[in-house]
Structure 1
């Protein structure tokens, strides 16, 4: 019961943390053009599970912001929209990645109380 309460308390904060992480993850892997489903698989294979109904609006938003560009590939039997990072997206990615590394180092250096374990 206590674990359920902790999960509920943490859920909105985890959601916020994951949102920013998914943005950075997309910018990191889209140096090579990928279509949405392939991107979902790439992120999932790396351990970052993202729902399609989260990813596709995010890709459209990043494209609107000028961080990604897309092209339709109609050469195969099934048309697919391929996304890739723009030069502006590379600059944003580099800033976000530097900040992620800085935050990781900062958080790793903070003192932590001992973890409580359930008996």
Structure 2
């Protein structure tokens, strides 16, 4: 395995959990898949549609998202929003994210108190 493949694999692992957290946070305001994809990418959270749509279905199956179809527009769209269980998980994940970020900051600055 060359260095580029190794790096790509580790970056993918790192992003996997962050995309879940980003979706749970972002979908506290209901939105449909493509708009979510665009907003995450605009924020620098790079995710492919082939990754996002299965993730949304999995999070819905886990009870972390709920969805409903909007058929009022010319094109029907499935809107997702974070469920109460999803909001609770997002809070837990954010707290852990902050703890790990703080620890890594201390580690990289040499302030290992």
Report if TM-score (shorter chain) is over 0.5.
yes
Normalised by the length of structure 1, the TM-score is 0.87
The change in CA–CA distance for 1:9 and 1:71 in structure 2 (over 3 A counts) is same
User: Match for residue 79 of structure 2?
Assistant: 82
Structure 1 position 93, deviation (Å): 0.4
Is residue 38 from structure 1 mapped to residue 25 from structure 2 by the alignment? no
Over 4 Å off, 4+ runs: none
Q: How does 1:50-89 map to 2 (within 5 A)?
A: 50-89=47-86
How big is each residue's C-alpha offset from its partner over 1:85-105, in whole Å with a ceiling of 9 and x where there is no partner? 000000100000000010000
Normalised by the length of structure 2, the TM-score is 0.92
**Which of 89, 98, 103 is the equivalent residue of 2:95?**
98
**Which of 7, 11, 25 is the equivalent residue of 1:10?**
7
Unaligned runs of at least 5 residues, structure 2: none
How big is each residue's C-alpha offset from its partner over 1:9-63, in whole Å with a ceiling of 9 and x where there is no partner? 2121111110101000001111110000000011011011211000000000000
SS in 2 for 1:43: helix
The change in CA–CA distance for 1:80 and 1:111 in structure 2 (over 3 A counts) is closer
Corresponding residue pairs, total: 109
Structure 1 position 7, deviation (Å): 2.2
CA RMSD of aligned residues (A): 1.4
Unaligned runs of at least 5 residues, structure 1: 114-119
Q: Which has the larger radius of gyration?
A: 1
